[in-house]
Structure 1
Amino acid sequence: MAPSEPPILVTCGLPYANGPCHIGHLRTYVPADIYVRGQKKMGYHPLFICGSDSHGTPIVVNAEERGTTPEELVSLYHDHFDDVFSRMGVEFDYFGNTDDPSNHRRTRSIVEALMDEGHVYEKDIQLAYCPSCDRSLPDRYVEGTCPYCSSPARGDECDQGCGRHLEPGEISDPVCKVCGSKAGYRTQKHYFFRLSAFSDFLIDYLQNLGGTANARNYALEWVKQELKDWCITRNLDWGVKFPGNEDLVVYVWVDAPIGYISFTEEWALRAEGDWERYWRKPSRIVHFIGGDIVYHHCIFWPAMLKGAGYTLPTAVVASGMLKIDNKTFSKSRGYVLWVIDDYLERGLHPDLLRYYLASYTSHTKELNFSWKIFAEKVNGELVGALGNFVNRAVTFTAKNFEGTVPVGNLDPEVTAKIEAAVVEVKAALAECEFKKLADGAMALADYGNVYFQANEPWKLAKVDRVRCAAVLKNCLQIGKALSILFQPVMPDKMESAWRQLGLSGAAAEALFDDALVPVEEGRRLGVPEHIFDKMDDSMVSDLEEIFKNRVAGLEGKKVEGGEEKMTPIKFEDFKRLDIRIASVKEAETIKGSEKLLRLIVDIGSEERQIVAGIAKSYRPEDLVGRNIVVLTNLEPARLFGVESRGMLLAGELDGSAVLLAPERETPPGTKIR
């Protein structure tokens, strides 16, 4: 990037530090990472910033229920997300925390600037109050009915109906979520941001906002309706203290996006950079977000920045919704893919999921995940097309030309195909259409396979080695182009391809235009190996069984604040559970799994095989002879190819399983009542 061009800052919506990472999170972070890597291949030097969203009522509620502090809960999930992003190849330049002192300072500074400019005022409001708990009920402490569409709603959002942001005191029929009692209202003084005064500015701003049309159009629709002033304070101890009234904290949707600025400051301190170059001077600021937080990023956030005198975002890229196995995404019903437990710990490579997220559908459309479709894309596109071509090109060249790049001229048709693919990938990146990017690169792999097959180098090797050399050099050139074009999507796998092709440097360092730079003749190739492994039917069946078993096991549960909560059941339902004391006869690890053990247990009337996810908490040899508690009438399931006919019962403490057991020796088969 030339010094005169404005710098580029890319951010992702901050993951809420209140629960583990799932595929819905990655729908934002993986495309953003692809975009950043792609910008680097265009010759730019974007700064990539993110961090944990650490404040707000849900975290306080969850911490109270767990018997821990908000600080400890946030630390747990901050480290969790940092680890997941690293393992998934999402490389932020800085990953911060909105509870860091720098964000407290920057938030208070911006709020003070808004107050100095007359954009903030005091107002007495009616706030939900629980007489039983003797406490105010901000946000997620209260639930009731949306006053606009009459749907069930939580304190600050109509999450099951019209999706409208709700101000404190707006919710109808309030109920305390802590004790379930009917809540009343009390008059309290709070602070409001004059959002209504920014209506004309927002309409002009949004009409020129870059990014995806779904974000721009959704926000414009809201702004053209009546904009209400925005309450920016809450009755909590956890959060950024409000300047001039430390009995209140700043609303989380004020300090969370300000984290983008404070994280840039923290990066600047470490890298000897200039944060004001991004936030006080002309720059290109691109926000990647989920479709559910458009309102906050396209209305609240630019109005705050405008009022406080900061640089405005130039683009907002909002993702479409998500389904799991054609069912609406739902953690409470089990229609979710947990990134660590369901994917990474199954031994699946991160780049396969990155490719699926990029190539399944347009970024703004609904994405459906299923193991069947996942396997079809891996086997058909990655193994069958891309991997097959690179492997054939390298293997055949190594075998027939002593492991070096042969001498030959590039075919004009091949050069034209590569050039067209580069143009298409660049255009797709500019449009944030990652499926077009992946499809454009994969079309080149398909062409490579056709070219290889049509020219029959296995025959040319016997009758025309000069022509054979030229054909294989063209194949290696296509392989180089594929490594470069796919690198933003599958960074690790493309480095493998790059090494096999014997290219200098790294695929990550190559620009898109380098795809047309001829491979160096006489250069030694790497060792040929398969880049991608085929997923066999049994593996897919096992993954589907795990998913189906979880869905069946979660019937009757719901998730709130990242925590599963059981809904009430009748005593007759409990009596249907056949829970017994069992004795462990055998125990062993299951090959390929870090979490699962295979147990043979005596339940009195027979011996059963059970698969249990306790390998990280118990050694097999320590389990033999122990009495445990087992649910025996659970529908059989196959986990990693091993049938499980029952489920042992255990609690969880600090992330480790704790087996339930009778307090004294009890015969196997004894029923729990």
Structure 2
Amino acid sequence: MSRHKFPQDRPILVTCALPYANGPCHIAHLRTYVPGDVFVRYLRKLGQEVVFVCGSDTHGTPITVNAEALGITPRELASRYHRHYQEVFRRLNIIFDNYGSTDDPRNHRRTQQIVRTLMERGYVYPKEIEQPYCPRCRRFLPDRYVRGTCPYCGAEARGDECDQGCGRHLEPGELLNPRCAICGTAAEMRRTKHYFLRLSAFEDFLREYLQGLEGTSIARNYALQWVEKGLRDWCITRNIEWGVKFPGEEDLVLYVWVDAPIGYLSSTEEWAEKTGGDWRLFWKGRGRIIHFIGGDIVYHHCIFWPAMLRGSGYNLPWAVVASGMVRVEGKIFSKSRGYVIWVEEDYLEEGLDPDALRYYILSYTGHTKDLDFSWRAYQEKVNKELVGTLGNFLYRVLLFAHRNFGGIPEGLKDDEVKRTIEETIEEILLGLDEYEFKKIADSVLALSAFGNRYFQSHTPWKTLKEDREACSATIYNCLWIARALAVLMSPLMPGKAQELWEQLGEEGKVEEALVAEALSPPMAGRRLGRPRPLFKRASDEEIAPLIERVRERISKAQGS
């Protein structure tokens, strides 16, 4: 039996937290989607049966508030950003087996089925509560429609979360001094009927379940802290029109955090319909579910979601992989304060390399630590690591081989090269065990650094004249390292790995080559493709305007 967690004999479903279809993709999103994509690509290279799904989160008050301000319908706004995310993911080589939408009829049906089951089993019940109501706008004020004071820390807060202070989830009616977020009028409190999930009934179950939850420790430990403080029943309905209707109540829709995670299930159903697969294998059968999420939504994925699944008879997540937070230029990520990098506007539309951004996200720091995006740090990583180490080794070897041999020369396998590739594979497997993608990226870079040392120490430019057979053996083994790099870096930088694969004269797609292929040396006599540098230096002239753009954005946001 393997001492590593992967591959497994059970099929695996990997999901990424659904991007909220209320605005464009930003740098913080990528802490979830890039590692998720890389993880799935490595699993496939290990022969693991795996399905990868995601979709757009399209309901909730932020979308309705924004749509009203723009004079369009919530569906029009959500559809606009749904297409945006699909395109950005495609350009970044983040490839899902299915990318759905929580507004898809499948999700409406599955959400209502789960809620009905919870009601039948006594886990959902009605209750009259006091809710803030705006007499001027003449409507109840759920979530983003209301602002006020957090009852726990005294900070300015919105209706469902203390977003400026302690970060706690807030139940309807908890906010102190509520006022309408649209017109500013002081809210009145009026009684109205809502429905609650009996979350308190799942306390003992969650305590036991979380002890054995796989994934990152921050997900497990944060959730356990909340359980130990005691859980309160959770209001799961809202007085708005946009969303999934509560069964039998036309004036109520379900809170967005009810139907959003069910989007994982409905996206799996959509995948099954398209491919002939079986969604039940993951949600009712022997399959395992792994969620990749941001650190700010642990509560929803480790408390609410398992309770809903348990109560309605579905499989529970086997692992929750939560990332650290994101900073921009050393400051806490904040769209409102200007500390944001827009992936399309600031990166892709500038013609920058998608694989270089993937590499930065993966290699900057450990997965559970805070990632700081800085244009100068990006420039340094590209120039020192991608160009100076990885790119330098590959280009000098391929160019030397092409000029002096025309193809792959004869040679004997060097045990040191084989051992170093085996050690790299072991590091990658350990990285997958720990969900530590920096460990994986570092191991690939270390293999290229070894290749540089190997090339330099064997002085092929000298042996070419003095001992052509020795020179041939050196280049043969260097090309073996290059081939191994193509196979092993493919999940990290799929575009560049394919370019390298073709320069090596290999056929087909490198993404289809299993990890074990890295231990197979190249075929002597094969013609090489025309060598070209894989990576381009990030110049001061290129980076300076991007730094200035961030400064201007911050200055404008802060009114200075």
Distance 1:10 1:63 in 2: 31
Distance 1:191 1:534 in 2: 57
Distance 1:543 1:54 in 2: 31
* Selected match of 2:522 from 519, 523, 530: 519
Counterpart code for 2:21: A
Which SS does the other structure have where 1:132 is aligned? Answer: coil
Bigger RCO (CA 8 Å, 6+ sep): 2
Aligned partner of 2:470 in structure 1 is 467
Post-superposition offset of 1:540: 1.8
Distance 1:269 1:58 in 2: 31
Post-superposition offset of 1:282: 2.0
Which SS does the other structure have where 1:170 is aligned? Answer: coil
Aligned partner of 1:395 in structure 2 is 399
Which SS does the other structure have where 1:128 is aligned? Answer: strand
Post-superposition offset of 1:6: 1.9
Distance 1:197 1:2 in 2: 34
Distance 1:342 1:258 in 2: 32
What's the % identity of the aligned pairs? 59
Asked if the contact 2:14/2:51 (under 8 Å) is kept, the reply is yes
Distance 1:121 1:547 in 2: 49
Which SS does the other structure have where 1:9 is aligned? Answer: strand
Post-superposition offset of 1:554: 2.8
Q: Structure 1 residues 273-282 or 327-336, which shifts more?
A: 327-336
Asked if the contact 2:89/2:95 (under 8 Å) is kept, the reply is yes
Q: Does 1:120 align with 2:147?
A: no
Q: Which has the larger radius of gyration?
A: 1
Aligned partner of 2:195 in structure 1 is 191
Asked if the contact 2:487/2:511 (under 8 Å) is kept, the reply is yes
Aligned partner of 1:381 in structure 2 is 385
Asked if the contact 2:306/2:316 (under 8 Å) is kept, the reply is yes
* Selected match of 1:549 from 534, 549, 552: 552
Counterpart code for 1:481: A
Aligned partner of 2:272 in structure 1 is 268
Counterpart code for 2:422: E
Alignment of structure 1 residues 334-373 onto 2, 5 Å? 334-373=338-377
Post-superposition offset of 1:132: 1.5
Q: Cα deviations across residues 256-306 of structure 1 (Å, max 9, x unaligned)?
A: 000101111111111111111110112110100111100000000000000
Structure 2 alignment gaps of length 5 or more = none
* Selected match of 1:283 from 281, 287, 291: 287
Counterpart code for 2:267: F
Distance 2:553 2:305 in 1: 39
Aligned partner of 1:245 in structure 2 is 249
Distance 1:277 1:333 in 2: 45
Asked if the contact 2:7/2:46 (under 8 Å) is kept, the reply is no
Which SS does the other structure have where 2:75 is aligned? Answer: helix
Distance 2:450 2:369 in 1: 28
Asked if the contact 2:7/2:48 (under 8 Å) is kept, the reply is no
The verdict on how the C-alpha distance between 1:2 and 1:424 changes in structure 2, with shifts beyond 3 A counting, is closer
Distance 2:316 2:216 in 1: 16
Aligned partner of 2:23 in structure 1 is 19
Aligned partner of 2:43 in structure 1 is 39
Aligned partner of 1:409 in structure 2 is 412
Asked if the contact 2:216/2:321 (under 8 Å) is kept, the reply is yes
Distance 2:352 2:479 in 1: 28
Aligned partner of 2:542 in structure 1 is 539
Counterpart code for 1:346: E
Q: Cα deviations across residues 33-72 of structure 1 (Å, max 9, x unaligned)?
A: 0001011111113111011101011111111111110010
Aligned partner of 2:140 in structure 1 is 136
Which SS does the other structure have where 1:310 is aligned? Answer: coil
Aligned partner of 1:220 in structure 2 is 224
Distance 1:484 1:144 in 2: 54
Distance 2:498 2:6 in 1: 28
Counterpart code for 2:500: A
Aligned partner of 1:572 in structure 2 is none
Q: Cα deviations across residues 478-506 of structure 1 (Å, max 9, x unaligned)?
A: 00111111111100011011111112322
The verdict on how the C-alpha distance between 1:218 and 1:2 changes in structure 2, with shifts beyond 3 A counting, is closer
Counterpart code for 1:266: E
Alignment of structure 1 residues 453-492 onto 2, 5 Å? 453-492=456-495
Structure-1-length-normalised TM-score: 0.81
Which SS does the other structure have where 2:200 is aligned? Answer: helix
Which SS does the other structure have where 1:173 is aligned? Answer: strand
Q: Whose helix proportion is higher, 1 or 2?
A: 2
Distance 1:369 1:307 in 2: 41
Q: Does 1:56 align with 2:60?
A: yes
Post-superposition offset of 1:2: 12
Distance 1:534 1:497 in 2: 17
* Selected match of 2:320 from 316, 320, 325: 316
Distance 2:33 2:196 in 1: 32
Q: Does 1:418 align with 2:421?
A: yes
Post-superposition offset of 1:547: 2.1
Which SS does the other structure have where 1:446 is aligned? Answer: helix
Counterpart code for 1:374: Y
* Selected match of 2:440 from 426, 437, 440: 437
Q: Does 1:72 align with 2:90?
A: no
Distance 1:14 1:158 in 2: 21
Distance 2:555 2:53 in 1: 39
Which SS does the other structure have where 1:514 is aligned? Answer: helix
Distance 1:474 1:439 in 2: 21
Counterpart code for 2:23: G
Q: Cα deviations across residues 551-600 of structure 1 (Å, max 9, x unaligned)?
A: 2233339xxxxxxxxxxxxxxxxxxxxxxxxxxxxxxxxxxxxxxxxxxx
Distance 2:491 2:77 in 1: 33
Which SS does the other structure have where 1:54 is aligned? Answer: coil
Structure-2-length-normalised TM-score: 0.98
Post-superposition offset of 1:28: 0.7
Structure 1 alignment gaps of length 5 or more = 558-673
Post-superposition offset of 1:4: 9.5
* Selected match of 1:147 from 135, 139, 151: 151
Asked if the contact 2:6/2:429 (under 8 Å) is kept, the reply is no
What is the root-mean-square deviation in Å for CA atoms of aligned residues?
1.4
* Selected match of 1:496 from 491, 494, 499: 499
Distance 2:329 2:51 in 1: 36
Asked if the contact 2:6/2:432 (under 8 Å) is kept, the reply is no
Aligned partner of 2:211 in structure 1 is 207
Post-superposition offset of 1:244: 1.6
Aligned partner of 2:175 in structure 1 is 171
Counterpart code for 1:292: D
